[in-house]
Amino acid sequence: MTELHESAGTGPGDAHFAVFTDHAEAAAVARSFTRPGDRTLPHPSGRPWLVGRWHDSEVVAATAGAAALAVVGCCPVDAEALRRRAARLRDLAELDALARSLPGSFHLVAALDGRIRAQGTASGQRLVFHARIGGVQVAATRADTLAAALGIDPDPGELAVRLLWPAPYPLSERSVWRAVTAVPPQDALVVAADGRTARHTRWWTPPEPVRPLTDAAPLIRAALEEAVGARTARGGVVSCDLSGGLDSTSVCFLADRSPARVVASTWPGRDPADTDLHWAEEAVRHLPDVEHVVWDADASPLVYEDLLTIDDLLDEPTIGVMDRSRVLHHLPALAARGSRLHLTGIGGDHVAWCSEAYYHRLLRTHPLFALRRLRGFRALWQWPLAGTARALTDSRPYGAWLARAAGRLRDPLPPSVATGLGWGMAPRLFGWVTPEAERMAREALLDAAGTARPLHPDRGLHADLEQIRVCGRILRQWDRMAARAGLPMASPFLDDRVVEACLAVRPGDRVTPWRYKPVLTAAMRGVVPEPCLRRANKATASMDASNGLREHRADLLALWEGSRLEQLGLVDGAELRRLARRPATRGLSDAILYSTIATEVWLRGLARVPQS
C-alpha cells in the first residue's frame, strides 16, 4: 500500500494523529498505525488513544477517572484546568461549551467510558476524518493517513469534482477517497466504545449578524488580541507579515504589545503602482522596537514557481500550491533571525469584510437602505442594472442553484454581479476537461443538489462561511508546508473566536461601498495609529501572476507531459500543452487553470511517495 508517514521528526506546527476507542480491536488497529518516531497518548486503561506526531508545545492533555481530554494545537489552556474539566465530564455533549469558549486554533479530543469525540475548528483550518479500518471506526486529522491504512487510491469521480472552478459546497469539503469520510467543520465526530458506529453531532452554529458595529468593535478587538496573545505570550522572537494592509498591520501592532520581540517582514510588489511598501513604512514609524526586514521585490517568487518540485505530503489538492514558493521563500531567513513563529494577516479579508449577497435579504427587509447601498455597489463594481435586477429577483434555493449549475458547466464565466449577489460563483469546466470528467462532475452536482442545504439560509452568511472555510483549508496546507520549511505559521484572523466576533456584526456595518473594512478600522482604533487606518485598498499581485504564467510556461508544459490527470482520462493533455505554449491566451489570467494545476501537482506528489 502507499505509505504516507514521513520518517523525519515533527516540529511545532505539524501535529497530526489518529484517534482510537478504548477497545481491544481498536488497540490492534492502532498498533498497525504506529511508525518509528510516532508518539502515543493512552486511554486511562492504557490502550492507545492518540497515535501520531506532535511537539510537546502543541499538546495539553489530562485524565480523571474514565475521562480524558486533549487539546492539540494553539490554545492557552493549562493541564490542571483541563483535568478539572475532565473530572466533571459526564456526557461528551458537554464539550460543546468548552469548544466554544477556548481561544486559539486546535483539535479537541475526548474519551469517556471508552467512547471518543474529536473535532477541529469551525473555520476548517483543522479538520477531522474517519474510516472503518479492521472493523472499527478510526478518526484522524488527515485523510491520507486513513487512506494509507486502507491501501486505496483517490476516487476519479472526486478528482473530477476538484477540476471544477470552483468546486462549490458541499463537494469542496469531501475527501478525495470515497471510503474516508470528512467531518463538517461545524460537527464533532463521536465513536461508540466498541468502535462499530460513528456519528456527527453539531457543536458550532454561526452567530446571527445583528450586533451594531459600535457594540461589536471592542469584542472584535478583544478576540483578536487574545488570538495574537495565544501565540506571543511566552515571548521570544516572532515574525509578522507587514504588507501595509489593515489585516497584517493590525496583527503586527498587537504582537508588538506582547512580551515577544517582533520582526516585521515586507515583500514590496513588482508593480510600480503597488503601494504596500509605503504603507508598511508608515506603520514601522510607529513601531520603534520592531525590526523591519524589506525583501528585494525582484527576488520574490512569482505565482506558478517550483510546481515541478513540490513534495509536500498533502491530503487533498489545494490551489495554495500556486503561491507556495511565495509563502515559504522568506521563512528560513526569518528563522535565522530568531523567529519561532510567523504571524500573518491572512483571513482578514474573509472576516473583516463580507459578501454583498447580504443585500439580497436586506432589500426585502430594509428596502430603502439596501437600494441606496446597491446603487453604490453598482458604481463601485460596475454592475449593469439589468444584471443587478436579475440577481436580486433570483430567489432559487441552494439546491436548485446547484442543479442549474450542473447543466451549465461549459458556459462562459458568470458575471460578477451574479456571483456577488448570489449563492456564490457558479462552477465551470473548460476546454481541456474531458467529457467523461464533465459527466462525473455533473452527476456529483446533481446528486448534491437533491439534499444540500446552504451553510445558512441568508445567502450572504452562506457565502461568508464558505469563503472562510475555503481559506481555512488553504491555510491548513500552508501551515504544514511552513512547519516543514522550519518556521511554523499562524493566522489569528481564522481563529473561531475572531470569526464569531466578526460574523456577529450587522452586514450593513460590515460591507458598504463607502468605506473599506469598517469593522477592522473600528476595532483597531486606539491600537493601530490613525494614519495607518486610512488605507482604503490592497495590492492584487496581478503582475506577479501574469509574469508567472509567462516565465514559467516551460514548467507548465513539463507538468502536462505524462500528466496523471490525462492518464486517468480527466483532461486533454494536448490542449493543456498548447495553452502552456501560449500563456497570453484570453482567460488564463483569471486563474481558471488553478484547480487543474492543483490536482495535477497533488497527484504527482502522491506518485513520489515510496511504496511499501
Q: What is the pLDDT of residues 177-189, one digit of tens each?
A: 999 999 999 999 9
Mean pLDDT of all residues in 203-216: 97
Provide the sign of the torsion angle of the four alpha carbons 42, 43, 44, 45, taken in this order. Answer: negative
Distance of alpha carbon 160 from alpha carbon 144, whole angstroms: 18
Reported as type and span, the H/E element at residue 139 is: strand 136-140
What local confidence, expressed as pLDDT, does residue 269 receive? 75
Question: How many CB atoms neighbour CB 412 within 10 A?
Answer: 8
Please give the single-letter amino acid code of residue 438: E
Q: Which three cell numbers stand for residue 29?
A: 488497529
pLDDT bin (cut points 50, 70, 90) of residue 453 is very high
Distance of alpha carbon 572 from alpha carbon 416, whole angstroms: 28
Residues 303 and 583: beta-carbon distance below 8 Å? no
Of 205, 224, 233, which Cα lies nearest the Cα of 77? 233
Mean pLDDT of all residues in 124-142: 98
Mean pLDDT of all residues in 62-91: 96
Mean pLDDT of all residues in 52-81: 96
What local confidence, expressed as pLDDT, does residue 553 receive? 86
Of 481, 483, 460, 479, which Cα lies nearest the Cα of 471? 479
379 vs 300: which has the higher pLDDT: 379
Q: What is the residue-averaged pLDDT of the chain?
A: 93
Class of domain 16-153+175-202: alpha beta
Mean pLDDT of all residues in 82-88: 97
Residues contacting residue 313 through CB under 8 Å, at least 6 positions apart: 4, 6, 144, 605, 609
Residues 265 and 330: beta-carbon distance below 8 Å? yes
The answer to whether residue 223 scores a pLDDT higher than 60 is yes
What local confidence, expressed as pLDDT, does residue 523 receive? 97
Sequence spans of domains, the chain: 16-153+175-202
| pLDDT tens digits, 512-554 | 999 999 999 999 999 999 999 988 776 555 556 667 778 888 8
pLDDT bin (cut points 50, 70, 90) of residue 3 is very low
Distance of alpha carbon 12 from alpha carbon 484, whole angstroms: 9
Percent of the chain with pLDDT over 70: 96
9 vs 117: which has the higher pLDDT: 117
The answer to whether residue 608 scores a pLDDT higher than 80 is no
What local confidence, expressed as pLDDT, does residue 301 receive? 85
Mean pLDDT of all residues in 38-54: 95
When mean pLDDT is compared across 16-25, 226-235, 572-581, 587-596, the lowest value belongs to 587-596
Q: What is the DSSP letter of 102?
A: -
What local confidence, expressed as pLDDT, does residue 585 receive? 79
The answer to whether residue 9 scores a pLDDT higher than 60 is no
Mean pLDDT of all residues in 2-30: 76
Distance of alpha carbon 204 from alpha carbon 98, whole angstroms: 11
pLDDT bin (cut points 50, 70, 90) of residue 2 is very low
Mean pLDDT of all residues in 132-149: 97
Mean pLDDT of all residues in 209-224: 98
What local confidence, expressed as pLDDT, does residue 611 receive? 43
Distance of alpha carbon 83 from alpha carbon 604, whole angstroms: 45
The answer to whether residue 265 scores a pLDDT higher than 70 is yes
Residues contacting residue 281 through CB under 8 Å, at least 6 positions apart: 244, 292
What local confidence, expressed as pLDDT, does residue 6 receive? 40
Report the Cα 484 to chain-centroid distance in Å: 18
pLDDT bin (cut points 50, 70, 90) of residue 1 is very low
Distance of alpha carbon 114 from alpha carbon 21, whole angstroms: 6
Mean pLDDT of all residues in 98-114: 97
What local confidence, expressed as pLDDT, does residue 125 receive? 97
Mean pLDDT of all residues in 18-42: 94
| pLDDT tens digits, 463-474 | 999 999 999 999
Residues 162 and 470: beta-carbon distance below 8 Å? no
What local confidence, expressed as pLDDT, does residue 607 receive? 81
Distance of alpha carbon 547 from alpha carbon 569, whole angstroms: 30
Mean pLDDT of all residues in 446-460: 97
- What b-and-e string marks burial along 479-491, b requiring 16 or more CB atoms within 10 Å of the CB? bbbbbbbebbbbb
What local confidence, expressed as pLDDT, does residue 353 receive? 87
Helices (H), 34-168: 79-88, 95-99, 143-150, 156-162
Q: Which three cell numbers stand for residue 513?
A: 461601498
Q: Among all chains, which residue has been given the C-alpha cell 479579508?
A: 349
pLDDT bin (cut points 50, 70, 90) of residue 174 is very high
Distance of alpha carbon 238 from alpha carbon 489, whole angstroms: 10
Q: How is the chain split among helix, strand and coil, in percent rounded to 5?
A: 45, 15, 40
Mean pLDDT of all residues in 27-34: 93
The answer to whether residue 39 scores a pLDDT higher than 50 is yes
Look at the pTM and tell me if it is higher than 0.75: yes
What local confidence, expressed as pLDDT, does residue 27 receive? 95
